[in-house]
Structure 1
């Protein structure tokens, strides 16, 4: 008999932690199209560049014309920047959440993942972590650029660092909220087009309705109605948390006023994230391996 020379694998066998980490890194890379076709890179990289462009312009104006314009702070605050670019952020999340979630369900690759030593809970949490990390990169890198520009423009370092850290906390919360909501919507359908449309409706339409209600509330002298309305959009919700915790510049017509309303905003963030994760876990319990 001819010996083909096949040998059994005798090296180290990695455990669940390494599997989860590899799965996380792969998901994060795929979100930006890395390791995929060139066409898959076009949209995420274009959106990332468009997120950076306003920050670069603001930094250039701040550094070059600070004394001429009499500027002593950022032109656009760290907490306001995600609101001004919320269209780009929403499109990014709406496009990439189905790529991570719906595709596994549509092509049944989820059965391969669950056949390996990866519990359903780990699969859900790692997918959420990949999407949240990618969204945080999209939001956080422009904020870092603004911060470095502020230091180059000789803005007070201590004050600027505190505001930047508050802005980054808001970026983390916003990334979590957007990832949880978009992943939940994407898990409800195997059709990518429907998932993208659903996420757009949840994020953009909710923001439009909330800001409209807030504008009417201010015009009619009922600011409390506007404060409550701010709970129903991830963007206004996170900005309200930042306003309550760090007293950042107001970016909505009716930010939360008072400790009780600020605590309510924080509680709603926790409930939305926890509820979305619980709903996702319940959804994947019905998926057969």
Structure 2
């Protein structure tokens, strides 16, 4: 048996140039901003596979299509039809497209929340310097911003169309301003509620189904109660029921604060009911944020 010659090296150490990072450390603020932008982009499939872009971009196109048709009719047939305002009020447009909005929120909330829990990437996000509260707030902010863009885009398109049709600038600006505030409140209510539901399960399909059922069933029940209460002369019951669906809740806030056209049969009347709607909106958003923070206390980082 041959043996290695005396003094022959048995191993070689290679210098591959590893060096410690000596550059600037940007801190938690930069991490939060990067996480927010990434979450916003991912909500529309940007930076993800082509298949991931189909649903959010398709829903955005479907949201814009009715608004584009309304603008075309308003601009081309304004004098013929005797129109002096928008065919569909800014404040009621989200109600007519609520199915599209619900599907968007239900599909993107699990993509931002459940996936991190399922694949344990949450442990990377919670490494220093990011904190649990920062992760929760940024994720909910990303989903809120994406939902707001989805809801606000057709409203802006309708506003531009109204100006092209020579509708009064001041009146249209005031109305679309109130509608955009309502769109932000609606986006916050929907996104926070959907994020909380998505955080309770690691299965994306289950989270999507749960969010859609929650949003659509609550609206169906509320609309039914409001219809019955209006027909039986018990409008107050319908007004109270309106706080249990994000869509009727936010529309009620717009009616109370901006005197916008109502999209329900029993909108809030009087200061007392209007204040109740405002408080219910705050409780929906802040309560969901608080519940999310409690949920992530149990998540191992």
Q: Calculate the TM-score normalised by the size of structure 1.
A: 0.98
1:201 deviates by: 1.5
- Identify the residue that residue 250 of structure 2 maps to in structure 1: 238
- Identify the residue that residue 168 of structure 2 maps to in structure 1: 156
Residue in structure 2 matching 1:203, options 215, 218, 222: 215
| Distance across 2 between alignment mates of 1:190 and 1:7 | 38
- Identify the residue that residue 92 of structure 1 maps to in structure 2: 104
Question: Is structure 2 residue 250 aligned with structure 1 residue 225?
Answer: no
1:9 deviates by: 3.0
Alignment of 1:54-203 (within 5 A): 54-203=66-215
1:2 deviates by: 5.4
Alignment of 1:6-85 (within 5 A): 6-85=18-97
User: SS at 2:91's partner residue?
Assistant: coil
User: SS at 1:131's partner residue?
Assistant: helix
Q: How many residues align?
A: 289
CA distances 1:4-41 after superposition (whole Å, capped 9, x unpaired): 44444333221111110000001111111111111111
User: SS at 1:256's partner residue?
Assistant: coil
| Distance across 1 between alignment mates of 2:92 and 2:47 | 33
| Distance across 1 between alignment mates of 2:259 and 2:124 | 48
| Distance across 2 between alignment mates of 1:231 and 1:5 | 62
CA distances 1:253-280 after superposition (whole Å, capped 9, x unpaired): 0000111100100000001111110000
Give ranges in structure 1 of 5+ residues lacking alignment: none
User: SS at 1:115's partner residue?
Assistant: coil
| Distance across 1 between alignment mates of 2:153 and 2:133 | 30
| Distance across 2 between alignment mates of 1:40 and 1:155 | 39
Moved more, 95-104 or 106-115: 106-115
User: SS at 1:263's partner residue?
Assistant: helix
1:3 deviates by: 4.4
| Distance across 1 between alignment mates of 2:234 and 2:36 | 46
| Distance across 2 between alignment mates of 1:139 and 1:29 | 16
| Structure possessing the higher radius of gyration over alpha carbons | 2
| Distance across 2 between alignment mates of 1:155 and 1:217 | 37
- Identify the residue that residue 256 of structure 1 maps to in structure 2: 268
User: SS at 2:220's partner residue?
Assistant: helix
Question: Is structure 2 residue 283 aligned with structure 1 residue 268?
Answer: no
Cα RMSD, aligned residues only:
1.0
- Identify the residue that residue 10 of structure 2 maps to in structure 1: none
Q: Calculate the TM-score normalised by the size of structure 2.
A: 0.94
User: SS at 1:61's partner residue?
Assistant: helix
